[in-house]
């Protein structure tokens, strides 16, 4: 899959997310600055992540010591290239089972919401294994108390798995039927 196709799909998904629901998520982040939500959609030919963090958490992503720059409407444009680079490292996806491999990100977009929340749209290639392991290694490098709400769905939005992640327990493995991510087909 070429990067132009991935970015095109991410931009399309961004439009749908903004129109149908991520805006509703933003109000929650105005009050919960230490939480990240990760919604993963597993398609037969790709995996798409939507990651939403507060402006405070975005600063922590930029500087894991907690002294990161404030990500505000005024600073977002200047910080966006750094956020894109760090956004590629937020989640580590592995095709688990026979022939385990790390899935590198193939596209990313970062936007800022109405309440200064930061949204990362990250695309990956196909899983191609018996399971998908999704980890957020950042949680083990920053202060305790930061949380990730992770939800994994297939292409038809059927739940494949969900888990709150925290320091010391920062990953989830989702098995697929028949070893060929059959649960994700469709």
Please state the domain extents for the chain.
3-89+105-122+136-171
- To the nearest 10 degrees (0 to 180), the angle between helices 55-62 and 76-87 is 60
Element (H, E) at 16: helix 3-20
- Contact between 60 and 68 under an 8 Å Cβ cutoff? The reply is yes
Model confidence over 32-81: pLDDT tens digits?
A: 889 999 999 999 999 999 999 999 999 999 998 877 777 999 999 999 99
Mean pLDDT for 13-30 is 41
Give percent helix, percent strand, percent coil of the chain, each to the nearest 5: 30, 35, 35
Assessment of whether the complete model's pTM goes beyond 0.85? no
Model confidence over 132-151: pLDDT tens digits?
A: 999 999 999 998 999 999 99
Query: 8 in helix, strand or coil?
Result: helix
């Amino acid at each position: 899959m070429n990067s132009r196709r991935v970015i095109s799909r991410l931009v399309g998904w961004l439009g749908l997310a903004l129109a149908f629901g991520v805006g509703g998520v933003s109000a929650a982040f105005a009050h919960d600055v230490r939480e990240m939500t990760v919604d993963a959609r597993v398609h037969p030919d790709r995996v798409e992540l939507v990651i939403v963090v507060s402006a405070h958490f975005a600063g922590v992503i930029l500087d894991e010591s907690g002294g990161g720059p404030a990500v505000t409407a005024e600073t977002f444009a200047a910080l966006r290239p750094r956020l894109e680079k760090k956004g590629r490292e937020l989640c580590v996806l592995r095709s688990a089972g026979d022939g385990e491999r790390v899935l590198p990100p193939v596209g990313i977009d970062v936007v800022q919401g109405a309440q200064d929340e930061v949204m990362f749209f990250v695309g990956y290639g196909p899983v191609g294994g018996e399971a998908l392991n999704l980890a957020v290694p950042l949680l083990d490098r920053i202060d305790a108390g930061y949380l990730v709400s992770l939800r994994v769905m297939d292409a038809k939005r059927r739940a494949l798995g969900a888990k709150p992640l925290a320091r010391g327990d920062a990953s989830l493995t989702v098995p697929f039927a028949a070893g060929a991510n059959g649960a994700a087909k469709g």
